[in-house]
Chain A
Amino acid sequence: MQVEQIAIFLENRAGRLAEITSTLAENGINIRALSLADTADFGILRLIVNDIDKACQILKDHGFTVGKTEVLVVEVPDQPGGLAGALSAVNNAQLNIEYMYAFSQRSGESGLIIFRFDDQEAAAKVFQKAGMRILNGEEVYAI
């Protein structure tokens, strides 16, 4: 039910992001979703890729600090109110979102929201109860 995400530590230095993406490209890794959280001094790049173990190894070999985290990927209708519905379910259950990001598949069909909660399991139950589909790893990696 949970999807694995890679997080990479990024120093605030010119060209670092490009180095990561080109390193992954050279090794045939396809990025499915991406978000960059940044502060004045450093950033954390979060990625969902088609082959997480290979990507982790390649990045480590290139001297990056990487970590794996489990996230929930929830499908919402790609129309006004789609995201609002998911978030109100979260809000009603008083769950804390650590971070989230989104991407949409072919426009007009469905949007995918990637969530990290302080309590992942409770959140999964809330979405299921609300009738929202949670994607499993294979589905997401293969998008």
Chain B
Amino acid sequence: MIWNDHETMPREELRALQLERLQKLVARVYDKVPYYRGKMDKVGVKPKDIRTLEDIRLLPFTTKEDLRQNYPFGLFTVPMDEIVRLHASSGTTGKPTVVGYTKEDIKLWAGLMARSLSAAGVTSKDIIQNAYGYGLFTGGLGAHYGAEELGATVIPISGGQTKRQITIMRDFGSTVLLSTPSYAMNLAEVMIESGVDPADLPLRVGVFGAEPWSEGMRHDLEKRLRIKAIDIYGLSEIIGPGVAVECIEEQKGLHIFEDHFLPEIVDQNTFEPLPMGETGELVFTTLTKTAFPVIRYRTKDISRLSDTLCSCGRTMLRMPKVSGRTDDMLIIRGVNVFPSQIEQVLMSIEGVEPHYLIIVDRQGAMDTMEVQVEVSENIFSDEIKDMVSITKRIQADIKDLIGSTCKITMVEPKTIKRSEGKAQRVIDKRKI
């Protein structure tokens, strides 16, 4: 369901609105944030130079490194007494990045998240089990406020405690699950093990995000949990969840809420803007956020933009499921591979379980890749030749994808660690 009129705005009107907001934003950050002013002065751009939407290309990019240099509050545009909330990234790859919100920002975010849930077919009648982690991570609270804004009933269960999740899901009659896709898979598995048939539960929609997942994983989740699985996209540096979402009508590409976030796609290496439809790194400018606006933030997420009209009536551009992050991209003997592509190969083979681990190593000067796959009863045979033929098939399909032969190791069930939030799919021993 359409939540906000802006979602169906004619594109010319939308572009006019975007330009007006962009000009205001650039003027404001130039005035309020010395760091941005310094970067713009360095390339000789003034706010008045932004005359069309395309002029955004004159502005310098913002990267995670910029955020770190200004740790913790250097890029905020308002004094701390106007900040009502802080979130932060986990900081696994360095200093965490900190984001701040004013009261207005929180309201804006709740509205965008309500929009997202509404696009996923969720209404005020739904009982939402919010299994995104609550805390510094934006997922839990972001989804929570949106669900309340929508008027639905929220169960703020957070992540983990899988058996308890299932008991509550059954006893409270949850109709919607919000979680990472890998955690939803863990839930589905434990459900079957504990004798709960998903068909007996009123659960009907899952809104999954915060990590890349394949189309194959979507089909598997839909089948196992008997739900519609909707992809949602967001990142804390932009606002959190609620930047883009699929509509339940088509489930084909995520509508970007362009009235608040201006998307661009740039070449991964040259950072030159790419034409509509080409694949590259997603870049966002926040048009309306107050406390912590970002200009041309390089997300490191790989996708593309599509202006094909959608049957749901939304006029906003769509981006296909993010295939991966440039950070997660593996370069195996010079070929770029995303874990989600390996996942797609595995999920396209009947009976293969959605639990896998990619181990990359180097022997001499040669990269090696091993993919561990769990042996389920569906692919197990008492004959060696059948088992070997499955590993050969996986090997051949992956070779088609990356051009080199990897080792497939069949492992016993449950030996690959189950996700409680964001799944770890890759162990890269080359970095050690």
Interface residues of chain A, those whose CB is within 8 Å of chain B, are 5, 7, 9-11, 16, 37, 39, 41-42, 44, 46, 63-67, 69, 98-99, 116
Contact = CB atoms under 8 A, between A and B. Distances in A.
B410 interface: yes
A118 B415 CA distance: 32
Top 9 nearest A-B pairs (CB, nearest first) are A7-B382, A69-B382, A9-B375, A65-B380, A11-B412, A65-B375, A67-B380, A42-B410, A37-B384
Contacts, number: 53
A42 B387 contact: yes
Contacts of A66: 377, 380
B300 to A, nearest CB: 35
Interface residues of B, number: 18
Interface string B367-383: 00000000111001111
B6 to A, nearest CB: 52
Contacts of A64: 412-413
Given A9-B375, A11-B415, A65-B375, A41 B381 contact: no
A16 B413 CA distance: 13
Given A42-B410, A67-B381, 18 more contacts: A7-B381, A9-B380, A11-B410, A11-B411, A11-B412, A39-B384, A39-B387, A39-B388, A41-B409, A42-B387, A44-B387, A63-B412, A65-B375, A67-B380, A69-B382, A98-B383, A98-B385, A116-B382
Nearest to A41: B409
28 contacts: A7-B380, A7-B381, A7-B382, A9-B380, A9-B410, A9-B412, A11-B415, A16-B412, A39-B384, A39-B387, A39-B388, A41-B410, A42-B375, A42-B387, A42-B409, A42-B410, A44-B381, A44-B382, A46-B382, A65-B375, A65-B376, A65-B412, A65-B413, A66-B380, A67-B380, A67-B381, A98-B385, A116-B382
Interface in B354-405: 375-377, 380-385, 387-388
Contacts of A5: 382
A7 B380 CA distance: 9
Contacts of B412: 9-11, 16, 63-65
B414 interface: yes
Nearest to B384: A37
A45 B139 CA distance: 46
A41 B408 CA distance: 9
A37 B383 CA distance: 9
Nearest to A5: B382
Contacts of B415: 11
A115 B124 CA distance: 63
B218 to A, nearest CB: 26
A66 B388 CA distance: 17
Nearest to A16: B412
A59 to B, nearest CB: 11
Contacts of A99: 383
Given A9-B375, A65-B376, A66-B377, A44 B413 contact: no
A67 B388 contact: no
Contacts of A65: 375-377, 380, 412-413
B382 A63 contact: no
A16 B415 CA distance: 13
Most B CB atoms within 10 A — which of A9, A10, A39?
A: A9
A124 to B, nearest CB: 18
Contacts of A63: 412-414
A94 to B, nearest CB: 19
Contacts of A41: 409-410
Contacts of A42: 375, 387, 409-410
Contacts of B385: 98
Nearest to A45: B382
Contacts of B414: 63
A42 B409 CA distance: 8
Contacts of B380: 7, 9, 65-67
A67 B387 CA distance: 13
A142 B383 CA distance: 26
A67 B413 contact: no
A120 to B, nearest CB: 13
Contacts of A39: 384, 387-388
Nearest to B385: A98
A9 B415 CA distance: 13
Nearest to B411: A11
A109 B383 CA distance: 31
A96 B356 CA distance: 35
A86 to B, nearest CB: 21
Most A CB atoms within 10 A — which of B377, B381, B382?
A: B382
Contacts of B382: 5, 7, 44, 46, 67, 69, 116
A11 B374 CA distance: 10
A99 B382 CA distance: 10
Contacts of A37: 384
Contacts of B383: 44, 98-99, 116
Most B CB atoms within 10 A — which of A10, A11, A69, A99?
A: A11
Nearest to B412: A11
Nearest to B388: A39
